[in-house]
Structure 1
């Protein structure tokens, strides 16, 4: 609560500041367009203003859910969760639509995400690559709007600084990492154990965005811990970090009936710094994503076999990126 008393007023205070910046950036943008330049300041500040307005709309919606379904009333928690998912879907749809003209975002997913079935299928564990700004939100949007699933989210604790996200995510199954008590694996396992039909736990096994430096550090860490065979295999990955298997293994053990979906993507990974983000606006290549599903019965049963299986699947992610990465994509 103390955190929100700071983040909410800060959000409201930022809106007029960003609106003033947008007025200046829009004038600069008009000059840039006349000179056939990318108008980057207007694009960035414009999207920031739209994001802040979306945050405010989300705060109002979250407050309305709380008033409409107050604590202590039977079924109120379930109703607030359903409402929070609906609000998140609308906000992510709005932001993705805004990113298309402003940043040239063109997302292409293969195979096409199937429409929601009449009967919810088995729960899913979604293990996605992490690289580039906003990739986690694109994954969540695809699950919510296109697949009709209810994502259980594992997010970095720093995202709680966004008051809208903080309030809405608090109404749905989630966990922020690192966990307050330091028991990250237990938190992920508890979240996975609660999965039901039509639910999907979303996890990013790399633990952070790919950079060549992080890749080298991850391989060196494996060597220092005596995991020489795994370090050798991880060293042959060129576009992804070796997956951290602790959280994945905890999720697999807690949800043995769940199928697993792997998600590879490329296009946002060209943005790995403020400088590259600025130079890449607008994007000139589509963001491509590929996913595949592994049935629960085809997943190895022992921890050791599952760890090797995960790295094999991540090798497949790396190979797919190698054939789809646009020029300038960071790699080792």
Structure 2
């Protein structure tokens, strides 16, 4: 159960700073421990030191972000003017700075490379700036895909992302503070679908040409078990055609259409961006990361755009269209998934 906000501010936020100081002071010890723990692995697979360096970098950046949040809170009259545009822009700038530093650390430590095939601009549009609000529908697989997606929206397209997240994400102190000051939504586990759709409509209905609503229609990270459960759920509802289509998709779970369609209905002038990506699909748990993290992390992604005028408006047509796009993502992932390295 998530602690009340006052507890998170007075306990979790200071605890993060303390953990950062302890991690920095004891860094040599942790490096020795993980080096010893990974001696059983062949030298190219000894990834423990990289994970420790990244963890310390992440903690340090989180603590710096928390300090910046405190300064912004004081600067806007101890929270009294948080919702004014200029203070909102400062918080987006803070997220942009944080994610850029995380990205830079990942590039250096994990030799991360990202190759993105992006949608071409339309008439009168620059390559970096579309002129309409967008709804971004992405597959959900592997660690950090949402971080990389939001980073790209902020830095390349200068968008203000709006995201629907699980309430448990608020255990992360800096995320808890800065995201709750911006138009986002946290949804508790077991929340009624009607409440989730209400939040999606709220986020989508207020968008302008600077905004991007990010939704993961699968509802969670892909795993084979979750894929099977999604198929069985469709069969239990009597949606045999959708279930059959879901079975043919080997790399994705069947999309849950209600959230995406609620966003489209609430902001009919928005273009829709679909995101396919692959590269770290097999790294779901900490154990996977410890055993399988490659020496060079390579991520490929493809984005394509459906203009608002080309989005179907009949619900049945929309559901078929959404499955069509998901099948396109599945085919792209199958074609571009890297060959897994042998497990040591």
The TM-score with structure 2 as length reference comes to 0.88
Alignment-derived partner of residue 175 in structure 2: 165
Is 1:104–1:282's contact at 8 Å kept on the other side of the alignment? no
Name the SS of the counterpart of 1:109 in structure 2: strand
- C-alpha separation in 1, matches of 2:157 and 2:319: 28
Q: What is residue 149 of structure 1 aligned with on the other side?
A: 159
Other-structure match for 1:44: 51
User: How is 1:100-249 mapped onto 2 (pairs within 5 angstroms)?
Assistant: 100-111=107-118, 115-117=127-129, 121-178=131-188, 182=192, 183-249=195-261
Rounded Cα–Cα distance in structure 1 between residues aligned with 2:25 and 2:248: 49
Determine if contact 1:21/1:45 at 8 Å carries over to the other structure.
Answer: no
Secondary structure at 1:197's aligned position in 2?
A: coil
Does the CA contact (< 8 Å) of 1:105 and 1:283 recur in 2? no
| 3-state secondary structure, aligned to 1:242 | coil
Q: How far apart in 1 are the matches of 2:230 and 2:26? A: 40
1:307-326 Cα shifts (integer Å, max 9, x gaps): 11111100000000000001
Does the 8 Å CA contact 1:157/1:176 hold for their aligned counterparts?
yes
Q: Which moved more, 1:251-260 or 1:42-51?
A: 42-51
The corresponding residue for 1:9 is 14
Equivalences, count? 325
Q: Is the 8 A contact 2:110 2:296 kept in 1?
A: no
Deviations 1:83-106 (A, max 9, x none): 111011111010111112222221
> How many angstroms does 1:153 deviate by?
1.3
Q: Distance in 2 between matches of 1:91 and 1:138?
A: 12
Deviation of residue 27 (structure 1)?
3.9
In structure 2, what is the Cα distance between the partners aligned to 1:28 and 1:253?
53
Structure 1 counterpart SS, 2:269: coil
Matched with 2:3 is none
Matches of 1:283 and 1:297 in 2, distance apart?
Answer: 44
* Pairwise CA distance, 1:50: 0.9
How far is the alpha carbon of 1:283 from its aligned partner?
4.3
User: Displacement of 1:29 after TM fit?
Assistant: 7.1
In 2, the alpha carbon distance for the partners of 1:327 and 1:273 equals 19
Whole-Å separation in 2 of the counterparts to 1:69 and 1:86: 15
Contact in 2 for aligned 1:179/1:187 (Cα 8 Å): no
Aligned to 1:22: 27
Of 217-226 and 19-28, deviating more is 19-28
1:115, 1:148 within 8 Å by CA — same for their partners in 2? Answer: no
Deviation at 1:20, TM superposition (A): 4.8
Deviates more, 1:95-104 or 1:187-196: 95-104
Is 1:84 matched up with 2:96? no
2:329 paired with 1:317: yes
- Give 1:98's aligned residue: 105
Measured in 2, the distance between the counterparts of 1:260 and 1:135 equals 18
Separation in structure 2 between the aligned mates of residue 21 and residue 309 of structure 1, nearest angstrom: 53
Deviation sequence 1:249-268 (CA, Å, 0-9, x none): 11011000000000000001
C-alpha contact 1:92 1:141 (8 A) present in aligned 2: yes
